[in-house]
C-alpha cells in the first residue's frame, strides 16, 4: 500500500465539508494523494458530526465500520465535532482509532499524521489543545468546498448565540469572522476556477464582522464581493439569525442582482413562550415585519427556514401556533427536526418530556402542511421562466437548481428535451440557462429550455 494515500469521509453540515476539503488540501500539499476507497488508503479520516443524537450515531457507526476493516499499518483518525465535544470518549467507544483531532484545530491534521507515523502508539494520540475557538491559522488553504459550478465559502465559524438546545457553541467556541480581504481573494480565485454560485456559510452569517468591529458586516461583505467579482453570477446567503436581518442588508440584496432573492433564516419556532424557553429571539412581530419588508423590496424572494418540534413543554396549543404561522407566512422551503436532548446545553435541566410518538406526529403534521404549501407555491411557477444552474444530465434530462434552491437541501429543476431533436441540445453541465417551467411537484419543478 502506498504510504502517502488518504481517504476522507465528511459527515454533517456544509461547514464540516469545507473543513474536510481544507484538511485534504494540507495533506495533498504534504504529498498525500486522495483515494476513492478506505481499504486503499494508508490514512483513513472521518470528519465527524456531533451536534445531535442521530448525527453522533452516524459518526460512531462510520468509525466502527472502518475500525473493524482496518489493515495492519493503516491509520484511522477521527476529526470534527464529535471528537471536539467528546474527545477520549470517542476512542473508548471505537477501539482501533489511532488519532483524535478536534474541529477547532483541523489545520493540525498533517502534524498529527506525522506524529502517528513516527512510531507505533499503543494508545490513541489525542490532539485536543485547549483552543478557546476555531483556529485562525488557516495555512493558506482555500476555505471553500467546490461542487461543479457551485461552492460553499466559509465566512466565519463558531457562534456566540445562547440558544438553549444547541451544542454548537460548546463544540466550536465563540464566533470568529474570517478577514474580509481573505474572503474577497477566495471569491476571485473561485471565479477563476469556473465557480458561478457562491454559497456563503457560517453558523450565523448575519453576525459576520462583529468581532472585526464591523457594523452590518454581511451587507458590507456582499457589496465588496459584487465589486471585486462582478462576474460571479450568484451569491446565496445561508444561516441568517432572526433579529439580525437589517434594513441595510435588505437594501444590498435589492440593489445587486448577483445577490439572490433567497434567504435561509432558521426560526426554530413561532410561539413566543417556546422561543423564550429556547433562549431565542421571541419577537414574532419582528419576523412578520421583516419578512413583509423583504417581500416588498424583493418581490421574487424565496425563504427557507427550520423548525424544531417537541421542545420541552411544547403544548398542543403552542404547536398549533407554529402551524398557523406557517400557514400565514407560507415559506418556500422548510426543514424540521424533532427536539434532541443535548447534555451540556442550557436546555439540559428541561429534560425531554414530550413523548417520542408525539414528536413524530407533530413532525409529520408539520411536514404535511409544508408539502401542500410547497406544492402550491411551486405550481405558481408554471409558465414562468427561471434561470437554472445545470448540475447534471441523465437519460436525456438535464438537472439543475434555480435561485430558489440551495445545494443539497432544497428542490431541483428537471429540464426535459421535449421538442428538441438531439439530446446534445440539452444545456451543458455548469451552464446557467433560462428554463420555461412546465410542471410542478411538491419540491421540484420540470421545464424545457426557453427558446
Residues found near ligand SF4 in the complex (CB under 6 A): 159, 161, 163, 166, 168-169, 203-204, 241
With beta carbons less than 8 A apart as the criterion, state whether 148 and 195 touch.
Answer: no
* Cell triple for 121: 502508539
Pairing of strands 385-394, 432-440: antiparallel
Q: Spell 112-141 as b/e; 16+ CB within 10 A means b.
A: bbeebeeeeeeebbbbeeeeebbbeebeeb
CB of 106 or CB of 241, closer to ligand SF4: 241
Phi then psi for residue 151, to 5 deg, are -145, 135
Q: How far apart are CA 439 and CA 415, in angstroms?
A: 10
CB of 272 to ligand SF4, least distance (A): 17
Nearer to ligand SF4, 169 or 400 (CB): 169
Q: Could you tell me the smallest distance in angstroms from the CB atom of residue 241 to ligand SF4?
A: 6
Q: Which is nearer to ligand SF4, 42 or 177 (CB)?
A: 177
CB of 172 to ligand SF4, least distance (A): 8
Order of strands, edge to edge, in the sheet holding 302-309? Answer: 144-147, 150-154, 197-201, 234-237, 259-264, 302-309, 333-338
- 20/268 with CB nearer ligand SF4: 268
Shortest approach of ligand SF4 to residue 117 CB, angstroms?
A: 35
Minimum separation from the CB atom of position 333 to ligand SF4 (A)? 17
Handedness of CA 277, 278, 283, 287 (dihedral sign): negative
CB of 177 to ligand SF4, least distance (A): 14
Minimum CB separation from ligand SF4 for residue 64, in Å? 28
Question: Residue 155 or 190: which CB sits closer to ligand SF4?
Answer: 155
User: 405 with 412: CB under 8 angstroms?
Assistant: yes
**How near is the Cβ of 163 to ligand SF4 at its closest, in Å?**
3
Q: Is 387 exposed, middle or buried (0-12, 13-18, 19+ CB in 10 A)?
A: middle
**42 vs 306, which CB is nearer to ligand SF4?**
306
Cβ nearer to ligand SF4, comparing 77 with 164: 164
* Least Å from the CB of residue 364 to ligand SF4: 23
Residue 63 vs 163, nearer CB to ligand SF4: 163
Our CB check for ligand SF4 shows the closer of 204 and 332 to be 204
Amino acid at each position: 500500500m502506498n504510504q502517502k494515500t488518504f481517504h476522507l469521509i465528511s459527515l454533517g453540515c456544509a461547514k464540516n465539508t469545507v473543513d474536510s476539503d481544507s484538511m485534504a488540501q494540507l495533506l495533498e500539499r504534504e504529498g498525500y494523494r486522495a483515494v476513492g476507497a478506505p481499504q486503499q488508503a494508508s490514512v483513513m479520516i472521518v470528519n465527524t458530526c456531533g451536534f445531535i443524537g442521530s448525527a453522533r450515531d452516524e459518526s460512531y457507526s462510520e468509525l466502527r465500520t472502518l475500525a473493524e476493516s482496518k489493515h495492519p499499518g493503516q491509520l484511522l483518525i477521527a476529526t470534527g465535532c464529535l471528537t471536539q465535544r467528546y474527545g477520549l470518549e470517542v476512542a473508548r467507544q471505537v477501539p482501533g482509532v489511532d488519532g483524535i483531532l478536534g474541529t477547532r484545530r483541523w489545520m493540525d491534521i498533517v502534524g498529527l499524521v506525522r506524529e502517528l507515523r513516527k512510531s507505533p502508539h499503543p494508545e490513541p494520540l489525542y490532539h485536543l489543545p485547549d483552543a478557546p475557538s476555531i483556529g485562525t491559522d488557516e495555512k493558506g488553504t482555500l476555505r471553500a468546498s467546490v461542487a461543479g459550478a457551485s461552492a460553499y465559502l466559509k465566512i466565519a465559524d463558531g457562534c456566540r448565540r445562547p440558544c438553549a438546545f444547541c451544542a454548537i457553541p460548546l463544540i466550536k467556541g465563540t464566533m470568529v469572522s474570517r478577514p474580509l480581504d481573505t474572503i474577497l481573494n477566495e471569491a476571485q480565485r473561485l471565479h477563476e476556477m469556473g465557480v458561478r454560485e457562491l454559497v456563503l456559510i457560517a453558523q450565523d452569517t448575519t453576525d459576520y464582522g462583529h468581532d472585526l468591529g464591523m457594523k452590518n458586516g454581511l451587507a458590507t461583505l456582499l457589496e465588496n464581493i459584487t465589486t471585486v467579482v462582478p462576474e460571479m453570477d450568484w451569491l446565496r446567503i445561508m444561516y441568517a439569525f432572526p433579529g439580525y436581518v437589517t434594513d441595510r442588508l435588505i437594501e444590498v440584496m435589492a440593489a445587486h442582482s448577483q445577490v439572490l432573492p433567497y434567504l435561509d433564516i432558521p426560526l426554530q419556532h413561532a410561539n413566543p413562550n417556546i422561543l423564550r424557553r429556547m433562549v431565542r429571539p421571541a419577537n414574532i412581530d419582528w419576523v412578520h415585519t421583516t419578512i413583509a419588508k423583504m417581500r416588498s423590496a424583493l418581490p421574487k424572494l424565496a425563504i427557507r427556514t427550520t423548525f424544531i418540534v417537541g421542545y420541552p413543554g411544547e403544548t398542543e396549543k403552542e404547536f398549533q401556533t407554529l402551524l398557523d404561522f406557517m400557514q400565514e407566512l407560507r415559506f418556500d422551503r422548510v426543514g424540521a427536526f424533532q427536539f434532541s436532548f443535548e447534555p451540556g446545553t442550557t436546555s439540559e435541566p428541561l429534560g425531554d418530556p414530550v413523548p417520542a410518538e408525539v414528536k413524530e406526529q407533530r413532525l409529520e403534521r408539520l411536514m404535511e402542511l409544508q408539502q401542500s404549501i410547497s406544492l402550491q407555491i411551486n405550481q405558481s411557477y408554471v409558465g414562468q421562466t427561471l434561470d437554472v444552474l445545470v448540475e447534471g444530465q441523465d437519460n436525456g434530462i438535464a438537472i439543475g437548481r434555480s435561485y430558489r434552491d440551495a445545494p443539497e437541501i432544497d428542490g431541483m429543476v428537471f429540464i426535459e428535451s421535449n421538442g428538441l431533436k438531439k439530446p446534445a441540445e440539452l444545456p451543458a453541465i455548469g451552464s446557467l440557462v433560462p428554463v420555461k417551467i412546465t410542471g410542478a411537484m411538491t419540491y421540484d419543478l420540470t421545464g424545457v429550455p426557453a427558446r
